[in-house]
């Protein structure tokens, strides 16, 4: 049984039986029995195969156009070397199988991933197909017992889509980069079949804004009591003379008469269920989540993770860093199947918990603090196995990165036995130990002895109360990483365009029953279950997945962002079953000396589904209770000159909707397309998406020399052909040959004008780089810019260097956002790092400590890490203590930020986490108790009545 990811394989195996976890080359798989059959559940790790250029050795660097491509192991891609082991595992396991099931995601990519694994790894062309849209036990069993056939039309469409994306993406990107090289410059550029048209309409909007000329108009209003304004029925006057004549006619009037009242009641049905696009747009509107972020949080809800204490040291290529200090993405060290240290990419996950953590202490004093579910690599019953912390016991042996005496320590264990007899005693020499490695030891023990690990016993375990953030990493390559030298397991969302819930009424009842376990939703779910109401369904269908909806309740507290998205999904789902909302719209016509003014109001008569899904907001504009012919007092008549505004820039939310409307990209790729435009410097993401000079130059160049590349009609036409291919009404070879012929002709024309294209692009690259790196003005008149030193360290320097040598330090981690604002306190430029607004001036009074500087300097403090003296230092985040032995010792300690002087007097106890003072603070929701060592310690509690 071929699954798409290791975590999904585990869930499917557990749903179908009581599996035994095994591994080959470090790749996990599962064996179980069901209905008298022995089943092996194995997995891919996403796409195991990628397209590559054939006969690359015989071609020049950057040569184009290239259409001779073939599928090859994705292990050729840097950072995806681990894929080979998954391929090898599937090949080995398939040799013993006589029946095959494909259990990958139910979409075009899932069909292709499954078929590639079946064909290239297992040597088979046909298999039974399991189709499921959620990972619940019931649905997995149903999919297994009612298998479908492989959809070869979907496979052809997926294969062709990848090849077309390669044709356009690689060839056109190479053409742009080769044009830049033709004028002796180097710049990474990219465009593609969908990326080009997407950038094109963003550029069209940007140029529309730049060319926009405001047009004046005039508005006449009548200000009534209670700050209500009636607007002249004409709304906008484009002729100032006409507007002034009417204004002069009525400007002294103090009374008007209600001429007409029209009331309209309207029922508003609930919004349809979420597909991926509408979820991304709502999450951005309500929580300001980017589309990519929503996708990532959704993935976490789909496959929950496990976590470590924020201060846990993690081994990285740059040394050991606390897990909370890691960037969102990067590289860490982990172990391969031979237990040798390798480098791999990771993504950082974070959540908030309030529960006991487990502290594991080893015989050499090493300790690790983790959630009770977090698996640690152990050696138990002659095998290597990941065991959750809560199931470990004192005396168990766990794997740690090898010390100098690692081999000796490992072999001097009583665990080394054969036929219940110790192989070695503690007095044997190291050379004797080496001799027995291959002869006497079992397979996993050989891996330990030959690997870069040691075995150490657990001497103590204790529970620690904890309330705060915990962290974990996803390391898709090897599924482990090194935490304080201990080997721990990493943690590993459906993409749908459907707006329809499943039709199975029993399934709907079941999930509604589950959600009654949460008090916030209980009363709504119980009413729905009793009433047997039918849900509102949307128009869009997706054969692979139903609409996004909740399927279960969390078995642990969710972190803030996941909780927000989960709550949004649950409330949207419940609201589908609720009664319509009812709104009343009122229009009153007011006659002022023959001129008609309009008063508009609206109110909610019945909340209906808004009671559950309160994220939808309506204007509540109550009007006075007036009747026809009533006289109304006028405070004054207003006369305002206004100007038309340019069209708005797209936001992260509206761009996804626009791509969907224009049928560009797929539900799974649209967020990535926008992220790529930002990453390449074509677009700057602020509150909206602003196209840079480089982005404009790329599109203007493509429009000038090869407009077909960015023609969205062509992209849509290709999508229609892919649909025909999927339905079997078009042949794959015809589609690809026609695309190659058309693209080859376009690129031959580009080759003739490479230098002209290159010169135009280079000019815009330089202006864009200046815009992206300039944060403000220096006192000397130069530009303050973000600069990288030879050692790749970033700092702020002046463009007038060496005449002006002013510099400002910058943190080496975190995304810097240029705000184009100045500090109100000292006038220096402001920047934002990880959403925190900061003044670049270290001497800015806003960074001052609460205590007098002299008092702080008198305070003698010792570094708890190395025993050195702690001295007062200044940084972009404010004053702090740093160790005198820096850079050998990098210990730092925060000073309290400036707070209300009354707060410091309200000391109510000691912090249970760090022994700091608990003080009364004020926040956006009122007073609360917090630790004086914030932000290092984030312990808080509510104020109780007896406090």
Residues marked as catalytic: 493
Q: How many CB atoms lie within 10 A of CB 234?
A: 17
Apex CA 312: angle with CA 310 and CA 317, to 5°? 115
**Helix/strand/coil percentages in the chain, nearest 5:** 35, 30, 35
- CA dist 203 and 207 (Å) reads 6
- CA dist 888 and 881 (Å) reads 15
What is the β-pairing status of strands 683-685 and 689-691?
antiparallel
Q: Which residues contact 528 (CB under 8 A, 6 or more apart)?
A: 512, 574, 577, 578
Is residue 222 within 8 A of residue 592, CB to CB? The reply is: yes
Residue 836, sorted as left (phi over 0), alpha (psi -120 to 50) or beta, turns out to be beta
C-alpha radius of gyration, the chain, whole number:
33
> Comparing C-alpha atoms, which of 279, 412, 371 is closest to residue 555?
371
Return the HEC string of 784-850.
Answer: EEEEECCCCCEEEEECCCCCCCCEEECCCCCCEEEEEEECCCCCCEEEEECCEEEECCCCCHHHCCC
- CA dist 646 and 208 (Å) reads 8
- CA dist 595 and 232 (Å) reads 7
**Would you call 207 exposed, middle or buried from its count of C-beta atoms within 10 A (0-12, 13-18, 19+)?**
middle
Residue 730 tokens, joined: 């078009």
Half-sphere exposure for 122 (CA within 13 Å, toward CB) = 26
- CA dist 576 and 499 (Å) reads 11
Is residue 279 within 8 A of residue 615, CB to CB? The reply is: no
- CA dist 17 and 43 (Å) reads 17
């Amino acid at each position: 049984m071929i699954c798409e990811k290791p975590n999904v394989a585990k869930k499917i195996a557990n749903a179908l039986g009581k599996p035994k976890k095994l591994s080959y080359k470090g790749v996990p798989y599962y064996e179980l029995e069901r209905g008298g059959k022995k089943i092996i559940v194995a997995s891919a790790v996403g796409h195991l195969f990628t397209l590559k250029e054939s006969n690359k050795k015989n071609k020049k660097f950057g040569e184009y156009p290239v259409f001779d491509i073939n599928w090859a192991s994705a292990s050729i891609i840097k950072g995806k070397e681990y894929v080979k082991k998954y391929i090898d595992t599937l090949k080995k396991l398939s040799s013993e199988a006589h029946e095959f099931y494909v259990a990958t995601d139910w979409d075009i990519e899932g069909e292709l991933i499954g078929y590639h694994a079946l064909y290239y790894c297992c040597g088979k062309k046909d298999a039974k197909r399991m189709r499921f849209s959620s990972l619940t036990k019931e649905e997995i069993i149903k999919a297994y017992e009612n298998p479908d056939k492989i959809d070869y039309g979907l496979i052809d469409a997926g294969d062709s889509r990848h090849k077309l994306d390669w044709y356009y993406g690689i060839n056109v990107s190479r053409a742009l980069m080769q044009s830049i090289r033709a004028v002796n410059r180097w710049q990474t550029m990219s465009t593609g079949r969908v990326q080009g048209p997407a950038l094109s309409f963003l550029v069209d909007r940007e140029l529309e804004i730049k060319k926009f000329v405001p047009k004046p108009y005039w508005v006449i209003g009548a200000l009534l009591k209670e700050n209500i304004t009636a607007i002249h029925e004409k709304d906008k006057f484009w002729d100032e003379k006409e507007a002034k004549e009417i204004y002069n006619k009525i400007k002294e009037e103090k009374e008007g008469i209600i001429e007409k009242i029209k009331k309209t009641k309207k029922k508003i049905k609930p919004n349809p269920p979420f597909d991926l696009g509408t979820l991304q747009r709502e999450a951005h509107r309500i929580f300001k989540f980017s589309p990519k972020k929503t996708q990532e949080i959704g993935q976490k809800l789909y496959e929950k993770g496990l976590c470590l204490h924020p201060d846990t040291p993690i081994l990285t290529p740059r040394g050991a860093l606390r897990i909370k200090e890691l960037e969102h993405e990067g590289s860490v060290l982990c172990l391969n199947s031979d237990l040798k240290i390798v480098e791999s990419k990771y993504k950082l996950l974070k959540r908030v918990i309030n529960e006991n953590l487990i502290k594991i202490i080893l015989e050499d004093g090493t300790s690790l603090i983790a959630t009770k579910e977090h698996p640690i690599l152990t050696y138990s019953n002659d095998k290597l196995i990941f065991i959750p912390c809560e199931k470990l016991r004192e005396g168990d042996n766990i794997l740690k990165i090898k010390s100098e005496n690692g081999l000796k320590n490992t072999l001097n264990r009583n665990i080394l036995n054969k036929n219940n007899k110790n192989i070695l005693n503690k007095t044997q020499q190291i050379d004797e130990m080496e001799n027995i490695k291959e002869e006497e030891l079992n397979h996993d023990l050989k891996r330990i002895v030959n690997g870069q690990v040691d075995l150490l016993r657990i001497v103590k375990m204790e529970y620690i109360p904890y309330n705060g953030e915990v962290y974990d990493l996803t390391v898709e390559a090897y599924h482990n990483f090194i935490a304080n030298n201990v080997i721990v397991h990493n943690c590993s969302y459906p993409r749908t365009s459907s707006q329809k819930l499943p039709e199975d009424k029993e399934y709907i009842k079941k999930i509604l029953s589950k959600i009654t376990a949460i008090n916030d939703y209980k009363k709504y779910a119980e009413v729905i279950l009793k009433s047997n109401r039918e849900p509102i369904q949307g128009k869009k269908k997706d054969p692979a997945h139903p609409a996004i909806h909740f399927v279960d309740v969390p078995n642990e507290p969710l972190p803030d962002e996941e909780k927000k998205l989960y709550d949004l999904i649950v409330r949207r789902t419940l609201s589908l079953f609720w009664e319509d909302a009812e709104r009343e719209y009122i229009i009153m016509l007011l006659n002022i000396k023959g001129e008609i003014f309009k008063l508009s109001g609206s109110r909610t008569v019945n909340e209906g589904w808004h009671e559950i899904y309160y994220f939808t907001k309506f204007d509540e504009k109550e009007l006075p209770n007036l009747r026809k012919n009533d006289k109304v007092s006028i405070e004054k008549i207003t006369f305002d000159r206004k100007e038309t505004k340019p069209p708005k820039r797209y936001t992260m939310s509206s761009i996804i909707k626009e791509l969907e409307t224009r049928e560009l990209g797929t539900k799974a790729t649209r967020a990535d397309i926008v992220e790529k435009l930002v990453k390449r410097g074509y677009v700057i993401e602020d509150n909206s998406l602003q196209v840079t000079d480089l982005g404009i130059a790329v599109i203007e160049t493509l429009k000038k020399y090869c407009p077909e590349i960015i023609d969205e009609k062509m992209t849509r036409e290709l999508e229609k052909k892919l649909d025909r291919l999927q339905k079997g009404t078009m042949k794959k070879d015809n589609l690809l040959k026609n695309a190659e012929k058309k693209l080859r002709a376009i690129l031959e024309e580009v080759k003739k004008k490479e230098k002209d294209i290159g010169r135009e692009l280079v000019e815009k690259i330089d202006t864009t780089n200046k815009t992206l790196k300039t944060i403000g003005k220096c006192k000397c008149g130069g530009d303050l810019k973000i600069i990288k030193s030879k050692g790749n360290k970033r700092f702020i320097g002046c463009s007038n260097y060496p005449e002006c040598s002013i510099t400002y330090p910058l943190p080496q981690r975190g995304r810097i956002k240029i705000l184009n604002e100045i500090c109100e306190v000292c006038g220096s430029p402001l920047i934002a790092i990880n959403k925190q607004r900061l003044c670049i001036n270290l001497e800015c009074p806003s960074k001052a400590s609460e205590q007098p500087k002299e008092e702080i300097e008198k305070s003698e403090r010792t570094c708890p890490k190395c025993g050195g003296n702690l001295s007062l230092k200044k940084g972009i985040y404010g004053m702090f203590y740093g160790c005198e032995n820096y850079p050998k010792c990098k210990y730092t300690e925060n000073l309290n930020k400036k707070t209300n002087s009354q707060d410091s007097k309200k000391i109510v106890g000691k912090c249970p986490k760090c022994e700091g003072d608990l003080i009364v603070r004020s926040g956006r929701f009122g007073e609360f108790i917090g630790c004086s060592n914030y932000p290092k310690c984030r312990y808080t509690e509510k104020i109780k009545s007896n406090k």
